[in-house]
Amino acid sequence: MLGWLKGYAKEVLVVPQVFKNKDHSTGILHLFCSDLTYDHDAITTTYKKRWQMEVFHKSLKSNANLAKSPTRAVRTQSNHVFMAIYAKFKLECLSIMNKLNPFALCRKLLINASRTVYAQLQLFQATA
């Protein structure tokens, strides 16, 4: 379907994509494309690729703390970005090996780390 977007001068293609939610309800996502030569399959394939990048960036920000860099100098910022990407890579490897979603794996690691710290704190309090 062809249409117009408010604030955008050119005509766009509007493609509805029907999907199933985890609770088995259905939803409709309207995808927009400014290239009028694309067909339904090309648009949905492009959006699938783009969505994977969105998930990657979300994981970088949430799981690898990319946005929480306390650095100011260019070199230390570069090091932080590199280490965040490396941490995301390692997390992906672990999540594939354990057949877990990276967010679930991070949660599991955090819970286990908290339990270990709490047990150590109990030992310190027992000896004091």
Segments making up each domain of the chain, as ranges: 65-127
**Angle at Cα 90 formed by Cα 75 and Cα 108, nearest 5°?**
115
pLDDT digits (tens, 9 = 90+) for 74-90: 999 899 889 888 988 99
Alpha-carbon distance 15 to 29, whole Å? 8
pLDDT tens, 14-52?
A: 999 888 888 999 999 889 999 999 998 999 999 988 888
Q: Is the pLDDT of residue 108 over 80?
A: yes
DSSP 119: H
| Biggest alpha carbon–alpha carbon distance for the chain | 74
Local structure of 2: helix, strand or coil: strand
Determine contact, residues 30/42, Cβ cutoff 8 Å.
no
Give the pLDDT band of residue 93 (cuts 50, 70, 90). Answer: very high
